[in-house]
Amino acid sequence: MQLGTDRSSRRRRGAGLAALLLAGGALGGGAVALWRPAAPALIAPALAAPPQAKATPIDALNATQQAAMAAPLPSFTHLVRVVKPAVVSVTNYLKQQHPMVQPGGPQLPFPFNQFPFNQMQPHPQAVEARGSGFIIDKSGLIVTNNHVVKGAQRITVTFDDGKTVPAKVVGTDPRTDIALLKVSVDHPLPYLELGNSDKVEPGEWVIAIGNPFGLSETVTAGIVSALGRNIGDGPYDKFIQVDAPINEGNSGGPLLTQHGQVIGMNTAILSPTGGSVGIGFSIPSNMIRKITDDLRQYGHVTRGYIGVEAQAISGAMSKALGLPDKDGALIAAVEPGTPAQRGGILPGDVITAVNGAPIKNPRDLADHVAAVKPNTPAKLAIIRHGKKMVISVTVAEMPSQKQMAANLAPAHARSKLGLALGALSPGMASQLNLPAGTTGALVTAVKPGSPAQLAGIAPGDVIVGVGTTEVHDPVEAAKAIDAALRKGGNAVALRIMHNGQPAFVGITLGAKKG
């Protein structure tokens, strides 16, 4: 069996809704409002009899299917009784580093920004937040969300019987929001086995167990709404969408089928209010298994890396490139000095398979490359100028997020203009309402008082050119800026996309000292 959790609330823009990551509640005066319906709801018949006069294919259910649809709702009492001992409450004790809080709302880092303090805090105080988790090994290994334990000074775990013990972090993977904890006890613990999330189908019953708003051992039920959801949270999003109510504190708790199989870990909701509206997301169990195996063995996750930026292929782009269909990942940029560059991959190539596995979109490419063991070759099937070919690339180990950020924009670009540059992913391009196919360098930060800020550059702008030179990624942008400054003295013209619109911006540096 398996268990799952949800993530602390994190607001996201888009279509008037916010994707919230439910990490759990900080102590400090938050209140929970209770709502009762005015009258009981009427229950409609489970399945109306099909019309006799006119049968259509959609009505042609066999006897077994009709019986299943007309069956009474399942009872989860026995299942809950069996699995609850393996579900735990995870408490994160985080010392507040910036204690001066304005009345009416705290200035606390995510995810603890929903619990108002009544007065100024003159001294650093410990902030306590709670999420959920579940035991996956009798020795005391516990799975939860990375955001539940992020920034913790210490962590405790509370079991079903009320006993609380300290826990240590074995390893975390921010890219998938998975963390592995370990507790030391003098007896074997009840645990849940991870099921096969690839066999999950929309429409099947599921239950979620966790500690929403500190209400321990809360059980909710619903159905699987959809599979493979990408909510823009990370490069490996393939969430299971469910309508079982999930709220703050459910993060890290299990999602189980009515047969007791753990198929996911509840992590996020989509909501305009901050509460559950029946759209929740769980990390698939097969992803949890792969990540926790790496964390248990190495303390970190090992992924393959080739160093490309890829984008989806639109219908118009497919015709323009002479492609048979829209399947594949179009290479927008190749980072210098990476396996892709050494292997001969070029911008404009379309990768259609990795080691024989078909690639339908950039997310497929990220998943399949990440699964390749570092320092081993991978055969990439590509289309270049309408011709099919296969290129062998020796896959490297993916750098840490900090290493990748450091490599993306050379220091001279940041120090001279006051800019921090990052890669522009297809997901980010969509969020910024950029035209399809836009490539460039994303402005991730602007130093206060810098030439860039004085010129009006803001985070979220995208540099697509320096003077008349097109740039496709942060490295190209940094090099072009440096070359322009060497050639032009103390001024540079940038072509940017600002709020989805193209513009030229001139940046002038301070006068040089003789």
Specify the pLDDT at position 18. 38
- The pLDDT value given to residue 467: 84
38: amino acid identity, one letter: A
246 shares a domain with 342: no
Q: Is the pLDDT of residue 38 over 60?
A: no
Q: What angle do CA 423, 424, 425 make, to 5 degrees?
A: 105
Question: What is the rounded distance in angstroms from the CA atom of residue 415 to the CA atom of residue 410?
Answer: 9
Distance CA 324, CA 427 (A): 24
User: At 68, phi and psi to the nearest 5?
Assistant: -65, -40
Q: Is there a single domain that holds both residue 365 and residue 353?
A: yes
Domain span including residue 211: 1-27+74-301
Final residue belonging to a domain, choices 272, 301, 330: 301
Query: Averaged over 106-110, what is the pLDDT?
Result: 31
Tokens of 317: 């782009």
Q: Is the pLDDT of residue 297 over 70?
A: yes
> Is residue 40 a part of any domain in this protein?
no
Does residue 365 fall inside a structural domain? yes
Cα–Cα distance list, 314 to 20, 346, 380, 428 (Å): 29, 19, 21, 17
CA gap 493, 464 in Å, rounded: 11
Which pLDDT value is given to residue 427? 64
Lowest mean pLDDT among 1-15, 212-226, 242-256, 279-293: 1-15
Kindly state the tokens that stand for 247: 């709220």
Least confident of 46-50, 297-301, 415-419, 488-492: 46-50
Give the end of a domain, one of 301, 326, 348.
Answer: 301
Residues 255 and 319 in one domain: no
Whole-number percent of the chain with pLDDT over 90: 19
Amino acid at 510: G
Q: Which of 177, 233, 294, 367 is catalytic?
A: 177
Helix (H, G, I), strand (E, B) or coil at 442: strand
Strand partners, 311: 330
In a domain, 417, yes or no: yes
Q: Is 198 labeled as catalytic in the residue annotation?
A: no
Domain tally, the chain: 3
Helix (H) or strand (E) holding 69: helix 63-70
Q: Are strands 218-229 and 239-242 parallel, antiparallel or unpaired?
A: antiparallel
Mean pLDDT, range 222-234, rounded to an integer: 81
CA distance 369 to 395: 8
CA distance 203 to 242: 9
Whether residues 145 and 163 share a domain: the answer is yes
Per annotation, catalytic residue among 8, 89, 132, 147: 147
pLDDT at 400: 66
Stretch among 110-119, 308-317, 480-489 having the lowest mean pLDDT: 110-119
Are both 409 and 387 inside the same structural domain? no
Task: Name which residue leads in pLDDT, 112 or 194.
Answer: 194
Q: What's 162's domain CATH number?
A: 2.40.10.120
The label of the residue with tokens 């999420």 reads 131
Question: Comparing 120-124, 167-171, 360-364, which segment has the lowest mean pLDDT?
Answer: 120-124
Which residues partner with 168 through β-bridges? 182
Cα–Cα dist 108/96, whole Å: 8
Q: Are residues 204 and 344 in the same domain?
A: no
Ranges 224-238, 239-253, 499-513, most confident? 239-253
Confidence of residue 295 (pLDDT cuts 50, 70, 90): very high
pLDDT of 42 higher than 50:
no
Element (H, E) at 453: helix 451-454
Alpha helices, DSSP H, located in 184-322: 285-298, 315-320
The pLDDT mean for the chain works out to 75
Whether 243 and 271 have beta carbons less than 8 Å apart is answered as: no
For residue 262, is pLDDT > 80?
yes
Asked if 169 and 229 sit in the same domain, the reply is: yes
63 pLDDT tier (thresholds 50, 70, 90) = low
Q: Are 386 and 321 in contact (CB under 8 A)?
A: yes
Which of 33, 37, 36, 12 has the alpha carbon at shortest distance from 272? 12
* Farthest-apart Cα atoms in the chain, separation: 95
251 catalytic residue (yes or no): yes
Residue at 51 is within a domain: no
Q: Are 269 and 325 within one domain?
A: no
**Is there a single domain that holds both residue 350 and residue 454?**
no
Structural domain contains residue 63: no
DSSP 8-state secondary structure symbol assigned to residue 462: E
What is the predicted pLDDT for the residue at 484?
83
In the structure, what pLDDT confidence band is assigned to residue 460 with cuts at 50, 70 and 90? confident
403 falls in which pLDDT band (50, 70, 90)?
Answer: low
The active-site residue, picked from 8, 89, 216, 251, is 251
pLDDT attached to residue 157:
92
**Alpha-helical regions (H) of 324-400:** 339-343, 362-370
SS3 at position 466: strand
Residue 24 vs residue 106, higher pLDDT: 24
Do residues 105 and 222 share a domain? yes
Domain edge (last residue) among 301, 317, 333: 301
Higher pLDDT, 426 or 206: 206
The DSSP string of 75-120 is --HHHHHHHGGGEEEEEEEEE-S-----TTS--PPTTSTTS--SS-
Over residues 461-505, the pLDDT tens digits come to 899 998 888 998 888 888 888 888 877 667 888 889 988 888 888
Q: Name the least confident of 52-56, 180-184, 492-496.
A: 52-56
What pLDDT, in 10s, does the model give residues 132-148?
999 999 999 999 999 99
Instruction: For residues 314 and 265, state if they share a domain.
Output: no
- Helices 474-488 and 401-408 cross at an angle (nearest 10°) of 30
296 vs 5, higher pLDDT: 296
339 residue type, one letter? P
Torsional sign, CA 453, 455, 460, 461: negative
Whether 317 is in a domain gets the answer yes
Torsion of CA 201, 203, 204, 205, to 10 degrees: 150
* 405 in a structural domain: yes
Residue 193 lies in a domain: yes
Beta-carbon count within 10 A of 94 CB: 20
CATH of the domain at 430: 2.30.42.10
Range of lowest pLDDT (54-58, 261-265, 324-328): 54-58
Residue 147 is a catalytic residue: yes
Residues 335 and 206 in one domain: no
